[in-house]
Structure 1
């Protein structure tokens, strides 16, 4: 009896297993389902940083959605120290009558509430400011020069025509070196204007500025505009900037700090001395020698500008485009009658 029961149990178990196996089999002709992989979350690519067009530095998101402001800044001894000059993106120094110089300064990345003292325009200013677009502020000028600037594709803010309080005379300087413009308010009235396009190429990422690759180490860049104006730039390793002097003395801002630049771009330019009597006109459309000083080194090359709207192109002696370091720049428009000396 025990053996029979065991056989029956074994038979029953076999039948159950066979039935289960048959139930598990799929009907003939039924397509097999391919298992789907479990979806995994894909990494969102990080957008590249937005660079300030006139400095090449990383810009805060949405923080530079405004036009640039250019202003004609006085460089007479009576105008020093200037207001806001230390916060510029780019400054052009140009020869004016009497062997003096004047600045056409550009602000975009860092906009002060006030800048000045502002003075009158000169015939080369439309060719300098046109590529930036935006706004230009100045005190006035000869009618022919004002008409030239009014014809340029920029918004003109002129002290002589101001009836809305954008300009005032301060108590720190004597007339005519005392006209200040409320820069923040002026730009705030024109937020519909676009931001400026980049004017120079900057070293990005792992790349380095051209002067550090192709240039020669030097300690001083000396420029002579005339017997009255000879600015210079000395390399300061501690701050990693070029420090500015004028006529052998440190050039100071309103806080008593020496003016400085990440890049000094020196261009040898021709001067038209005849078209406007005693008013020299720097010829900005053309070509000439260039020296670009960055990081304690200077690279020699050529500059060119093919139209009023065109930006300045810089090429080294071996034919490569010159890139600048991220930061502010001063452009020295030295007349061919002057001189440029790169001092080791």
Structure 2
């Protein structure tokens, strides 16, 4: 296990060293303020073919324990990734390309898995509260733009509605001049009509040791309504979180060398490789396989007939489950 971990870290470090960022990252205190939702109008459509991205995507690490809910600005994300962290809990990474909400949060710390996941984007901006000290050199070497309260103090603030550490918020406009557009979402996802077949599905639950996600189909909204730990998920403005497409992606999860202050080791979620997946859209479930040959590639999904599985237009939630 230790040999595999050392090998993975060596490969990751070598691959990232080509774009070294000399940034000092630590978690710190920020100024206080009051959170607002700042939502943009709902609805996004794929960019026309050939349209260029105006810049990098914004990825934000989002707190997801009960004390951090409801979150702010999560409904504006184009893609939400859910992964297991220490103690069997969950954390989210929200990716913004087509619109930037006024405020996002609560913002929490980065993980080693984030570096591999974000390699699919072109120098993305990663907003997070800080990271485990031994992980900071890898973040410094990664081909991304790391933004923390110490680096961009004007972009972050502490809300007064809940105690720390669940009250750190980000103003995305302070980091990006504008939303880069759909072309910046180099995830490999395809959007189009639903494939043939599939199984009618009313709801789907994915469980971690100490967390669970449930997606319930709403024919009225034509969306999968999100619940977390048995409770309907809403934003601070009261908007019910919903996805047009949900992906349950089965991945290898190993133990990294990093751990929290209680000694709980961080799971490493491997998003490069291949495996089984389940794609939920239009009230149906489709069996699929996923493939991401290299870290710089997006992830493709193939159906049982050998053809690509297209996603429905709108927000995508990807839940990483242990294979």
Pick the TM interval, shorter chain. Answer: 0.7 to 0.9
* 2:18 alignment partner in structure 1: none
Paired with 1:331 and 1:319, the residues of 2 have a C-alpha distance of 21
Q: Does 1:246 align with 2:228?
A: yes
* 2:194 alignment partner in structure 1: 209
* 1:229 alignment partner in structure 2: 211
Structure 2, unaligned stretches of length 5 or more?
1-43, 260-264
Q: Could you say what secondary structure the match of 2:112 adopts?
A: coil
* 1:69 alignment partner in structure 2: 58
| TM norm structure 1 | 0.74
Q: Report the Cα offset of residue 147 of structure 1.
A: 2.3
1:151-181 Cα distance to aligned partner (Å, 9 max, x none): 221111112x235411111112210011111
Paired with 1:304 and 1:268, the residues of 2 have a C-alpha distance of 11
Q: Report the Cα offset of residue 91 of structure 1.
A: 0.4
Paired with 1:325 and 1:182, the residues of 2 have a C-alpha distance of 29
* 2:274 alignment partner in structure 1: 287
Q: Out of 158, 170, 194, which is 1:181 matched to?
A: 170
Q: CA RMSD in A?
A: 2.3
Q: Out of 290, 300, 304, which is 1:313 matched to?
A: 300
Q: Which has the higher contact order (CA 8 A, sep 6+)?
A: 2
| TM norm structure 2 | 0.78
Paired with 1:249 and 1:166, the residues of 2 have a C-alpha distance of 30
* 2:131 alignment partner in structure 1: 141
Q: Does 1:115 align with 2:104?
A: yes
Distance 1:163 1:269, change over 3 A: closer
Asked whether the equivalents of residues 64 and 109 of structure 1 are also in contact (C-alpha less than 8 Å), the reply is: no
* 1:172 alignment partner in structure 2: 161
Paired with 1:120 and 1:220, the residues of 2 have a C-alpha distance of 31
Runs of 4+ in 1 over 6 A off after TM superposition: none
Alignment of 1:268-279 (within 5 A): 268-276=250-258, 278-279=265-266
Q: Report the Cα offset of residue 126 of structure 1.
A: 0.7
* 1:92 alignment partner in structure 2: 81
Asked whether the equivalents of residues 71 and 236 of structure 2 are also in contact (C-alpha less than 8 Å), the reply is: yes
Distance 1:154 1:274, change over 3 A: closer
The structure whose Rg is larger is 1
Distance 1:164 1:74, change over 3 A: closer
Asked whether the equivalents of residues 263 and 329 of structure 1 are also in contact (C-alpha less than 8 Å), the reply is: yes
